[in-house]
Amino acid sequence: MAQAFAFLPDLHLAQDAVQESFVAAYLSLRKLQEPTAFGGWLRSIVRHQCHRVLRQLELVFLTLAIGIPLLFHRLWVVFLFYGIVAAVLGSVLSVVFHLAHAVEAAEFPMPVQETGNIEHAWAIHQVETTADFARRSRVAAWLLGGLNFQIEHHLLPRICHINFPALSSIVEETCREYGVKYDEHPSFLAGLASHFRWLRQMGKRIIRMG
């Protein structure tokens, strides 16, 4: 299951791929010549099923993004607007993730040298390496689909984002109760200012190291 989820972006798709892999493995079991190689053989079937699902997703995407528009518009028009949409979406996501992760409040922990593991538990790691911004802005929550609630997005990725404003208060209160650092910037501009201060700090650190 872990291997399928590493390939596929959705838990349900990963579960479907694993189920199909078990069916395929059962039907092909006679082809397995060495029983001790069963683990690697099954993993190869899972990889094959995941690649098949990804190819299907790519086909659906290309049909919706390129194929159907070509039925109504010229080629250059389709690619022009596709490029505009991709550039705008990429810029918005880049800004969002910078304000959520590349700010003064966000931690950047390194694995423990002896074990190679992160010191804190998974949930604590998600909170301390992330920051919310503009939580009280309905406009930001609507435009960004709740991505301004990055802490809640990391902790509860399968919860609908319209619940994040209410959940954020519960998450923050729980963090305060257990001594976990919870950071949020009251506005988009406050988060942006923190990002530029973080960049300045990184620049000074590089100069000192040089």
Tell me the pLDDT tens digit for each residue of 58-71: 999 999 999 999 99
Same domain, residue pair 34 and 123: no
Q: Do residues 116 and 46 share a domain?
A: no
Contact 141, 164 (CB under 8 A): yes
Q: Is residue 94 part of a domain?
A: no
- Predicted confidence band at 38 (pLDDT cuts at 50, 70, 90)? confident
Arithmetic mean of pLDDT over the chain:
86
pLDDT at 209: 61
59 and 121 in a common domain: no
∠ CA 89-90-93, nearest 5°, is 85
pLDDT at 155 over 60: yes
Domain housing 123: 100-209
Question: Within this chain, do residues 115 and 195 fall inside the same structural domain, yes or no?
Answer: yes
**Nearest-angstrom CA–CA distance, 43 and 173:** 42
pLDDT at 174: 93
What proportion of the chain, given as a percentage, has pLDDT over 70? 93
| 5, pLDDT greater than 90 | no
Instruction: Look at residue 210 and tell me whether its pLDDT is greater than 70.
Output: no
Last residue of a domain, one of 30, 52, 72: 72
Q: pTM of the predicted model, to two decimals?
A: 0.71
